[in-house]
Amino acid sequence: MTYVFDFRVMVVVYAFKYFCEAIALAYVWYSHRRYEPARYWAIGMALNAIGSLLILIAWDSSPSWLVVARSLVVFMGFLVFSSGILQASSRRLPWRSFLALTCVTLTAQWWFTDVARSGAARVAIFNIFLTICTSYVAFCVLRVPRGPLRATQLVIATMLLLQSAATLCRALSMTNIEFLFPLRSDLAIFGIALISIGSSFMLTLALAIFTSQRTTALLEATLDNLTQGVAMFDADQKLIICNRRYGEIYGLDTDHMQPGTPLQTIVTDRIARGIFAGSSAHEYFRERTAPVIEATTALQQLTTGAPS
């Protein structure tokens, strides 16, 4: 159905893609304090890369044991990867159901390798398995309750559904149904591969962003539960992050609590509302900006009675 050279090039491209994603996700795992789901993502992609490379071994006359072995490696990689995604979404992978489906799929692949000897049916079944599992994981992510990470989770689910659609198209292209003939054209095959590879890289990027956002959300939740007001400024005297209590102490509105707000704006607002402590507004401004420039510690009492 496809030329030998084209087939092998496509396999190498997919294997290289999985390998790059495994490295990227391993770095996400390492740089975010050994975030466990990221480890599953990296291991899953590494197994997919290995399974893809195994396809190059006697691809045109593969013995049944090799077909089953390489499919099992890819399936396990996909299940481990999916387990990480569901764990990050506070859900559990139905291992028993997925493993039962894996056994049925591997048995069917063995049948079409040794008995019926249909390579097209074997590859179609392989892709149908991936379609079912990917769609299930995507719908589980879509059902996650709303929260600060909801937008990124929707992107993850969308990329999974795109991969699922591309995989289904690959499965349908293996059939002999006449109205599906356009799916077997070179342009269609290239388009399906492009969608699959593009959505896969976008999924990896979304997972990396999701991990960073999760760390930020945990930090913000921790800060907001402190009874003290906390704020961090950069070398340019611009706000990096502050907690809710900091805004309550100084009566800041939402605009003045956004990252990037100059310290001068915040201090000027305190002076304008008359809650500063000190002999003069100029002296208070100098004292309040000094800790950002120099390492100093000071405790003052505001006119409202709150410590500053």
Please, what is the Cα angle at 279 between 278 and 280, to 5 degrees?
Answer: 95
Contact criterion met (CB below 8 Å) for 263 and 237: yes
Q: Where do the structural domains in the chain lie, given as residue ranges?
A: 4-223, 231-293
Average pLDDT of every residue of the chain: 83
Where residue 246 falls among pLDDT bands split at 50, 70, 90?
A: confident
Residue 85 has pLDDT above 60, yes or no: yes
Long-range contacts: 31-37, Cβ < 8 Å, 24+? Answer: 32/211, 32/212, 32/215, 33/215, 35/211, 35/214, 36/84, 36/87, 37/84, 37/85, 37/87, 37/88, 37/211
DSSP lists the bridge partners of residue 242 as 231
Residue 1 has pLDDT above 50, yes or no: no
Contact criterion met (CB below 8 Å) for 75 and 102: yes
Non-local CB neighbours of 117 within 8 Å, separated by 6+ positions = none
Residue 27 has pLDDT above 80, yes or no: yes
Give the three-state DSSP class for 232.
strand
Q: Answer left, alpha or beta for residue 145, where phi above 0 means left and psi between -120 and 50 means alpha.
A: beta
Q: Which of 114-118, 210-214, 218-222 bottoms out in mean pLDDT, i.e. has the lowest?
A: 218-222
Please state, in angstroms and rounded to a whole number, the distance separating the CA atoms of residues 196 and 130: 12
pLDDT at 200: 92
* Dihedral pair phi/psi, residue 236, rounded to 5°: -90, 10
For the chain, give the percent of residues with pLDDT over 70: 81
What's the mean pLDDT in 61-88?
Answer: 91
Q: Where are the beta strands (DSSP E) in the chain?
A: 231-233, 239-242
- Residue 183: C-alpha distances to residues 10, 123, 179 (Å): 16, 15, 9
Residue 4 has pLDDT above 50, yes or no: no
Where residue 3 falls among pLDDT bands split at 50, 70, 90?
A: very low
pLDDT at 236: 81
H/E run at residue 24: helix 4-31
Residue 179 has pLDDT above 90, yes or no: no
- Residue 220: C-alpha distances to residues 77, 148, 165, 284, 292 (Å): 34, 11, 37, 28, 21
Residue 13: closest CA among 52, 57, 62: 52
